[in-house]
Amino acid sequence: MINKTFIIIISICLIQFFSNNSYMVEPDEVLENKKQELRARNISKNIRCMICQNQSIDESSAPLAKDLRILIRDKVKDGKKDKEIYKFLTDRYGDFILLKPPLRLNTLALWILPFIFLAIGIFIVFSYNKKSKKI
């Protein structure tokens, strides 16, 4: 019985691990030039869907996400660099459109706090360990 449950859990984990994320890129959006398409896909994966907010535009079926995917592809075809495309989008929608926020003064806490908490956690674990060894 335990073995059966164990196998089911492992199977679910494996399915989750090897399954592909669903992408919403429609066939008519895909560029013929594979290199350009790959670049557009990579950029789209880093751009937040402003409607869904927790999805990238690559995964979102929202109309604005589709418009932005097409816009990115147009810019890639026009020979724009990745930096220029990101700048175009952040100029209009702010840094919030980036799924990875850049390190700035107002995002400093966001980047540093996890490390501070990690250090505090390690400190607590070590001091607790010392105490328990004494006992």
- Minimum distance, C-beta of residue 72 to other proteins, in the bound complex (Å): 11
Q: Whole-angstrom Cα distance, residue 66 to residue 70?
A: 6
Contact footprint for other proteins (CB under 8 A): 50-51, 53, 63-64, 67-68, 71, 90-94, 96, 120, 127
Provide, rounded to whole angstroms, the least separation between the CB of residue 119 and other proteins.
11
**In the complex with other proteins, which residue's Cβ is closer, 67 or 84?**
67
Judged by CB, which is closer to other proteins: 61, or 127?
A: 127
CA distance 47 to 95: 10
Smallest gap, in angstroms, from Cβ of residue 69 to other proteins?
Answer: 12
Closer by beta carbon to other proteins, 6 or else 96: 96
Question: How far apart, in whole angstroms, are the C-alpha atoms of residue 9 and residue 68?
Answer: 39
- Residue 16 beta carbon to other proteins: minimum distance, rounded to whole angstroms: 29
Q: How far is CA 87 from CA 84, 91, 93, 97, in A?
A: 5, 6, 10, 11
Q: CA-CA distances (angstroms) from residue 114 to 12, 92, 108, 110, 118? A: 30, 29, 11, 7, 6
Are 37 and 74 within 8 A, CB to CB? no
- Measured from the CB atom, the residue of 14 and 51 that comes closer to other proteins is 51
